[in-house]
Structure 1
């Protein structure tokens, strides 16, 4: 039976972190809003689950994943579940909690990226908060992004199994998510990340190595990989970007 992934149509967003794991593992899955599933297809099928009075605990928001009778919300939670099933989690159970902690930290960065263009309220248009967004984005570029990236670079450097993976000695979903985070930052802030590889060589090497994996490379070149756009989390507004040394 196929995994059923629920996320907004036309957006990479948080759903992309799950897609990358499914694609790398060549898992059998259905993108419900873009296709058909046991719930039908389209956005209506997703909203029916969100608004369901039959689910014991319906998800608050997408992404969420259905595996048989099990409904799993939240990106990091989905990946914690999928990792062992897809061969994308450390064999050592203790390291699986380390992986989950890193994934949750990635989620923290993603939230801060979102807040660079929506610093006041998610319900307001970007155009209604551009001045505040510029202040928030420049603080993110100058302070928050370097703090997070220095941490992730140090995690790679201090990995006892070597600096090719975020945790353990083999590819995990955390490596895939780190690729997506770095890739999204390059799209949103091309000037700020121009010298990314000079400052964070291990992270840059990880990003490139993931992109070159055969399954991921094929996915990235396919129509299944949605393009970045200015309705997602990673948005490129030139006025929010700035050059760094």
Structure 2
């Protein structure tokens, strides 16, 4: 039975972290909101689940995943569930929790990236908070990107199994998510990320190695991979970008 992934159609967003894992593993899945509104699929089907008064454990927001009768929400939680099933998690149970901790830290970075263009309120348009967004984005570039990326570079360097992967000695969903974080930041802040490879060579090598994987390479070249856009988590506004210190 195919997994059903629910996320807003037309957006990479937080759903992309899950797509990358499914694509790398060659798993059968349905992008539910790209299907017709029938049999619980489509955008209408997603909204029915979100607004349900009968679902025992309704999700707060997409992405969420259906695996048979099981309904799971939250990106990191979904990946922790899928990782072992897809062969993208450490075999050691303790390291699986380490992987989850890294994924949650990636989620923190994604939230902060989102808040560069919506620093005051998610319900306001970007145009209603541009001055605050510029202050927030420049602080993110000067302080938060270096802090997050310096940490992840150190995690790679100090991995007892070697510096090719963030946890353990084989690819996990966390490595795929790190690729997506770097890719998203590179789209949103091309000037700030211009010298990324000089400062973070191990992360750059990981990013490039993910791109070179056959299933990921095929996915990135396909129509299934949606482009970044200014309705998503990672947005490019030239006035928010600047060269890193």
TM-score under structure 2 length normalisation:
0.98
Task: State the shift of 1:12 in Å.
Answer: 0.2
Distance across 1 between alignment mates of 2:53 and 2:186? 41
Whole-Å separation in 1 of the counterparts to 2:69 and 2:42: 20
Could you tell me whether the CA contact under 8 Å between 1:76 and 1:103 is conserved in 2? Answer: yes
Paired with 1:57 and 1:42, the residues of 2 have a C-alpha distance of 20
Q: Which runs of 5+ in 2 are unaligned?
A: none
Aligned to 1:135: 135
Q: Give, in whole Å, the separation in 2 of the partners of 1:190 and 1:156.
A: 24
Q: Is the Cα–Cα contact under 8 Å of residues 157 and 163 in structure 2 kept in the other structure?
A: yes
Whole-Å separation in 2 of the counterparts to 1:112 and 1:243:
18
1:81-96 paired onto structure 2 within 5 Å: 81-96=81-96
For residues 50-71 of structure 1, the C-alpha deviation after alignment (integer angstroms, 9 at most, x for no partner) is 1112210100000000001100
Q: Cα deviation per residue 1:86-127 (whole Å; 9 max; x = unaligned)?
A: 000001111000000000000000000000000000000000
1:197 alignment partner in structure 2: 197
Matched position secondary structure for 1:165: coil
**Compared CA separation, residues 92 and 141, structure 1 to 2 (3 A):** same
Any idea what SS the aligned residue of 1:30 has?
strand
Q: Distance in 1 between matches of 2:36 and 2:129?
A: 38
Q: Which residue in 2 is equivalent to 1:173?
A: 173
- Describe the shift of the 1:69–1:38 C-alpha distance in structure 2 as closer, same or farther (beyond 3 A): farther
Cα deviation, 1:27-78, whole Å, max 9, x if unaligned, reads 0100100025984432101001111122101000000000011000000000
1:1-245 equivalences in 2 (<5 Å): 1-35=1-35, 39-245=39-245
1:138 shift after superposition: 0.1
The answer as to whether partners of 1:4 and 1:37 remain within 8 angstroms in 2 is no
1:79 CA displacement: 0.0
- The answer as to whether partners of 1:30 and 1:36 remain within 8 angstroms in 2 is no
Q: Is the 8 A contact 1:106 1:177 kept in 2?
A: yes
1:30, 1:37 within 8 Å by CA — same for their partners in 2?
no
Distance 1:155 1:179 in 2: 15
Q: Using the alignment, how far apart are the partners of 2:144 and 2:2 within structure 1?
A: 39
Which ranges in structure 1 are unaligned for 5 or more consecutive residues?
Answer: none
**TM-score normalised by the chain length of structure 1:** 0.98
1:10-39 CA deviation, whole Å, 9 max, x = no partner?
000000000000000010100100025984
Aligned residues: 245
| Cα RMSD, aligned residues only | 1.0
Give me the whole-angstrom Cα distance separating, in 1, the residues matched to 2:209 and 2:229: 24
Q: Give the Cα–Cα distance (whole angstroms) in 1 for the partners of residues 16 and 39 of structure 2.
A: 21
